[in-house]
Structure 1
Amino acid sequence: MLIVIGGLPGSGKTTLSRLLAKRLAGAVHVRIDTIEQAIIRSGLARHPLGPAGYAVGYALTEDHLRQGLTVIAESVNPLPVTRDAWCEVGVRAGVPVAEVEVTCSDPDEHRHRVTSRTGDIPGHRLPGWGEVVEREYEPWDRDHITVDTAGQTPEASLETLMAHLK
């Protein structure tokens, strides 16, 4: 199965993706931020990277799916074109796709998360609050799972997602 997790920075995507990967046997977490930063560190490109990180993510994800693994593909996934591309990966691999949007509906909590977190990818610069609220992010126009992480623990958010995935 392909589980595509998207949402604005600071919404809880990475935390939820990591918890989900631990919970599901035979699952791998593919994180676009990690891929993009590796490409930048290689010296082949600079930030902003454009579609290269997503292209690598799609290829890795399809390869993992063809090996019989469940993939949790995590990225901001801000546009219909990226959402469609993830779905096409699932179709090519012949697996079901679950699309998940992670949100934080409490603006104060979301802002606090963005401004107080520390990065876990060497060299990766986290966006500031202004960049998060100004970021291009088109609303979802099709059925998908929404997990609102505001006011609850990561474990509670995981249980909400698990209930939807069943």
Structure 2
Amino acid sequence: MLIVISGPPGSGKTTLAHQVAQAVGCPAICRDEIKEGMAHATPGFVPGPGDPLTMRTLATFFDVLGLFAGRGTTVVAEAAFQDRVWRPGLEPLASQAEIRIVHCEVDPEVAYQRITARSASTPSRSVHEDAYHDKERWVRNHQVFDRIALDVPTLIVDTTDGYHPGLPEIAAFLRR
């Protein structure tokens, strides 16, 4: 099974992905963690739209997911998964693994607070172009987030204050 954890920045995807992976008993592959690791080997890297490191990260992310799916390994895949960018990478994996999507939704103000706090306290976040400096632009981008739309079982989780539905219900959805 390929468990896709998706949502806009600051929606709690990474935290939920690691909790789901622990509950299911499988690895979590997080796109931002891959990029942060790749940035260590790229001195002086400056993030920007479509920068070379971001493009290599995308390819690496799908290579890793393809390897797990091809070997019959359940895996949690976590990224923003906006439909226009991510669908081409996910669709081929549907022939190798059953895909289930857990989409995180969050109040934009809460997401903004999370991402600014995370950026201030976690130096490795500097490799991401989160555009949190302009709050109005960031909120607009949050509101037009184009979530992944595959014809697969999908669960919406509100992460504004905890998880609704909770982790036991999320795990039950994944076992169906």
What's the TM-score bracket when you normalise by the shorter of the two chains? Answer: 0.7 to 0.9
**Structure 2 stretches of 5 or more lacking a match?**
none
In the TM superposition, residue 41 of structure 1 has moved relative to its aligned partner by 2.2
In the TM superposition, residue 122 of structure 1 has moved relative to its aligned partner by 5.5
2:158 aligned to which of 130, 137, 148: 148
**Paired residue for 1:164?**
173
SS at match of 1:123: helix
**Structure 1 stretches of 5 or more lacking a match?**
none
Q: Is the contact made by 1:16 and 1:157 (CA closer than 8 Å) also made in structure 2? A: no
In the TM superposition, residue 30 of structure 1 has moved relative to its aligned partner by 0.6
Q: Is the contact made by 1:79 and 1:138 (CA closer than 8 Å) also made in structure 2? A: yes
* Structure with greater proportional helix content: 2
Identical aligned residues as a percent: 25
Q: In terms of mean alpha carbon deviation, does 62-71 or 145-154 score higher?
A: 145-154
Q: For residues 65 and 142 of structure 1, do their structure 2 counterparts lie closer, same or farther at Cα, with a shift above 3 Å needed? A: closer
Q: Is the contact made by 1:87 and 1:97 (CA closer than 8 Å) also made in structure 2? A: no
**Paired residue for 2:75?**
71
The equivalences for 1:49-88 within 5 A come to 49=51, 50-88=54-92
**Paired residue for 1:5?**
5
Work out the CA distance in 1 between the residues paired with 2:7 and 2:58: 15
SS at match of 1:5: strand
Q: In terms of mean alpha carbon deviation, does 50-59 or 112-121 score higher?
A: 112-121
Q: For residues 15 and 52 of structure 1, do their structure 2 counterparts lie closer, same or farther at Cα, with a shift above 3 Å needed? A: same
SS at match of 1:11: coil
In the TM superposition, residue 2 of structure 1 has moved relative to its aligned partner by 0.3
The equivalences for 1:31-50 within 5 A come to 31-43=30-42, 46-48=46-48, 49=51, 50=54
SS at match of 2:27: strand
In the TM superposition, residue 13 of structure 1 has moved relative to its aligned partner by 0.2
In the TM superposition, residue 24 of structure 1 has moved relative to its aligned partner by 1.0
C-alpha RMSD of the superposition:
2.8
SS at match of 2:146: coil
Q: Is the contact made by 1:32 and 1:74 (CA closer than 8 Å) also made in structure 2? A: yes
Q: Which amino acid aligns with 1:24?
A: V
Give TM-score, length-normalised by structure 2.
0.75
Give TM-score, length-normalised by structure 1.
0.79
Q: Which amino acid aligns with 2:115?
A: V
**Paired residues, what number?**
161
Work out the CA distance in 1 between the residues paired with 2:162 and 2:65: 30
Q: For residues 11 and 109 of structure 1, do their structure 2 counterparts lie closer, same or farther at Cα, with a shift above 3 Å needed? A: same
SS at match of 1:115: helix
Q: Is the contact made by 1:40 and 1:47 (CA closer than 8 Å) also made in structure 2? A: no
